Amino acid sequence: MTTALLCGRDQRGQERLKEVLSVCGIQAVLLSQDLETAYEIVQNREPDLMVVEVVQLQTALDRFVRMRSCCSAPLILLGGEQEQDMLQNYADHGDALLLTPLPPVRTAAVVQLALVSARRTAALRQALQETRIALSERKQIERAKGLVMVSEGLSEEQAYRRMRSQAMSRRISMARLAGDILQQNALSG
């Protein structure tokens, strides 16, 4: 089931967007008028999509940041002509922007385009995060391998094999083993 969270104060706009989202394949839309309630919904329901009016961010950015950290769903920021500056300021927090009021013609196409954009951007954001983690782990493994080489007088390949063997025998990842080695070195050094 595809679920969306819609957070905003404009009830008429929310109802219209709710109808359009259902046309775009969203099966359930959870409504909230403030970020406090939206945060609770995110924690309890884990929606597949979040749509938040940008004016909400001004009043409760800290709540929004916590909400964003516990939910990796794509995020569409809503705002009108008068909030265009805010949309630009908060664009890094969202995966797509949607100007309101929605156009009377081709509304579903405009929202569908925002959905596609948000999903793509969210996927890229997730891939970037995974790449950063992998790079960090690789650096940690290389530092630990260097310590093993120095402390045991091994070649790079021998140190790697020893670490791999230890990780396998302990049934832990190489990154975890490297962290243990680095921590042990920090405590003894």
Domains of the chain from N-terminus onward: 3-102 (3.40.50.2300), 130-188 (1.10.10.10)
Contacts of residue 90, Cβ cutoff 8 Å, sequence gap at least 6: 54, 57, 77
Q: What is the pLDDT of residue 170?
A: 96
φ, ψ of residue 78 in degrees (nearest 5): -105, 140
| pLDDT at position 66 | 87
Tens digit of each residue's pLDDT (9 = 90 or more) over 155-170: 999 999 999 999 999 9
Residue 100 confidence (pLDDT): 87
> What pLDDT does residue 123 have?
94
Model confidence pTM above 0.85: no
Residues in the chain predicted with pLDDT less than 70, given as ranges, are 1, 189
Could you give the C-alpha distances from 100 to 8, 12, 50, 69, in angstroms and in order? 12, 12, 16, 26
What is the rounded distance in angstroms from the CA atom of residue 51 to the CA atom of residue 62? 17
| Strand pairing class (75-79; 49-53) | parallel
Q: Which 3 state secondary structure label does DSSP give 122? A: helix
**pLDDT for residue 189:** 67
CA–CA distance from 91 to each of 4, 77, 97, 115 (Å)?
20, 8, 7, 15
